[in-house]
Chains A and B, each alone.
Chain A
């Protein structure tokens, strides 16, 4: 590995100033499970590494009924998995986060850091999209917020500008009872997802209220299957309707064939997994 200068600032302002000062040759470090590897393989050769882990507010993982869930930039996947409010109100996220790497990985790797790598197969992305996550960003021009859908811009690319860092993820509070399902296909526990699906349904008097269907590893970015959502939204659920929604979700997916599996397999699995996730979500709400 190439040697570098290491900084561990204790405030957001300090971190942003460092990134501005070393524009183009600085990388941000959170859990390190990806950055270390890329530096070790010399895919990245930063002159400067800015460790975010001594910025106290970034470690914050909290929930309130008014403000929803806040996941700070250095919160690990393990912490999200174990958090009772996440398990209770954002169950698909707890399940999704538990799929990331191994236990050891989850003890270090951060949810925010993982999203900033912007892999189309990121495990938590479908769940975060389904829960309407918003990304809060700090930079030289101040703070801004971007919905997660707009944050991903392509494989490995995000909406972050120079010297900007993600400070937290914000998930709105649930406005009623929600059922969910999350499923992914993978070779072994520790491998990257071949295809994943997440369904979150809000109940509304025997009828589907808000429906969110999100897919991973089947497009250049994690996708929301909005046409599939429209099939279920406002409708009384039935086996036929679920089958239709799943079929449409598969149509909306844009997978490629790669070293892990074929596009055809991915498309087929979108239909299978989405159906299972929708069934899970509706069973939870006792609507199926």
Chain B
């Protein structure tokens, strides 16, 4: 039987009817049509489904939608301000850190969270900070460079 939950996504309040077995990822994509967050492995191993939940990164594929009751969620759609890309998004575009783009939403959110807690990370700290996000295309070199550029401001 569905339950009604209320939560904020990208600053907007929502009321959504969800089944207990629905994941936060499913709810975002299928109920709210925010398809920027991707389903990669459904096991919490690849990070493609990364969102910010009350400001911290989490794999939305392993969270029941019901657990998000009363919480604040930020997805990739919440980063740009209208036409203005977030500095991390800009850096990814400028440094060629996007190939197929599937890992990119999760990777950008992980990078954003990293830079907010550590504004001047070393390369090792960057690699550690995105170690929960797998990329099959780029070999991570451009991703690291983009994050370093975003950190320089």
Q: What residues on A are CB-neighbors of B50 within 8 Å?
A: 104
Q: How far is the CB of B82 from chain A (nearest CB, A)?
A: 28
Q: How far is the CB of B71 from chain A (nearest CB, A)?
A: 11
Contact A190 B45 (CB under 8 A): yes
Measured between alpha carbons, how far is A191 from B152 in the docked complex, in Å? 32
Q: Cβ of B148 < 8 Å from any Cβ of A?
A: no
User: Contacts A102-B47, A108-B63 hold; do A190 and B131 have CB atoms under 8 A apart?
Assistant: yes
For A6, A53, A102, the residue with the greatest tally of chain B CB atoms inside 10 Å of its CB is A102
Contact B20 A102 (CB under 8 A): no
Q: What residues on A are CB-neighbors of B53 within 8 Å?
A: 107
Beta-carbon contacts of A92-128 to B below 8 Å, as 1s and 0s? 0000000001111101100000000000000000000
Number of cross-chain contacts by CB at 8 Å:
75
Q: Cβ of A33 < 8 Å from any Cβ of B?
A: yes
Contact A53 B20 (CB under 8 A): no
Measured between alpha carbons, how far is A104 from B130 in the docked complex, in Å? 10
Q: How far is the CB of A186 from chain B (nearest CB, A)?
A: 12
Q: How far is the CB of B130 from chain A (nearest CB, A)?
A: 8
Contact B43 A4 (CB under 8 A): no
Q: How far is the CB of A48 from chain B (nearest CB, A)?
A: 10
Q: Is the interface of B mostly helix, strand, loop or mixed?
A: mixed
Tally of chain A residues near chain B (CB < 8 A): 27
- Residues of B23-44 at the interface with A, using a CB-CB cut-off of 8 Å, are 23, 42-44
Surface stretch bound by A, among B6-14, B54-62, B89-97: B54-62
Q: How far is the CB of A168 from chain B (nearest CB, A)?
A: 21
User: Contacts A4-B20, A103-B110, A104-B47 hold; do A51 and B67 have CB atoms under 8 A apart?
Assistant: yes
Contact B67 A103 (CB under 8 A): no
Q: Cβ of B129 < 8 Å from any Cβ of A?
A: yes
Q: Cβ of B136 < 8 Å from any Cβ of A?
A: no
User: Contacts A51-B67, A53-B67, A103-B132 hold; do A37 and B3 have CB atoms under 8 A apart?
Assistant: no
Q: Is the interface of A mostly helix, strand, loop or mixed?
A: mixed
Measured between alpha carbons, how far is A51 from B58 in the docked complex, in Å? 17
Contact A107 B20 (CB under 8 A): no
Q: How far is the CB of A213 from chain B (nearest CB, A)?
A: 28
Measured between alpha carbons, how far is A49 from B129 in the docked complex, in Å? 32
User: Contacts A4-B21, A103-B110, A104-B57 hold; do A33 and B44 have CB atoms under 8 A apart?
Assistant: yes
Measured between alpha carbons, how far is A105 from B129 in the docked complex, in Å? 13
Q: How far is the CB of A284 from chain B (nearest CB, A)?
A: 22
Q: Cβ of B19 < 8 Å from any Cβ of A?
A: yes
Q: Cβ of B140 < 8 Å from any Cβ of A?
A: no
Measured between alpha carbons, how far is A36 from B66 in the docked complex, in Å? 13
Q: What residues on A are CB-neighbors of B19 within 8 Å?
A: 3
User: Contacts A104-B57, A104-B58, A107-B57 hold; do A6 and B42 have CB atoms under 8 A apart?
Assistant: no
Binding site for A on B (CB under 8 A): 3, 19-21, 23, 42-45, 47, 50, 53, 56-59, 62-64, 66-67, 69, 110, 128-129, 131-132
Using A3-B20, A29-B64, A78-B56 as known contacts, list a sample of 18 further A-B pairs with CB atoms less than 8 Å apart, ordered by residue number in A. Answer: A6-B3, A6-B20, A6-B64, A32-B62, A32-B64, A32-B67, A33-B44, A49-B20, A51-B67, A102-B132, A103-B57, A103-B129, A103-B131, A104-B58, A104-B59, A105-B132, A107-B56, A108-B59
Instruction: Please list 21 pairs of residues, one from A and one from B, whose beta carbons are closer than 8 Å in the complex, sorted by A's number.
Output: A6-B20, A8-B66, A33-B44, A36-B23, A36-B62, A36-B64, A51-B66, A102-B47, A102-B59, A103-B57, A103-B110, A103-B132, A104-B44, A104-B110, A104-B132, A105-B59, A107-B53, A107-B56, A107-B57, A107-B58, A189-B131
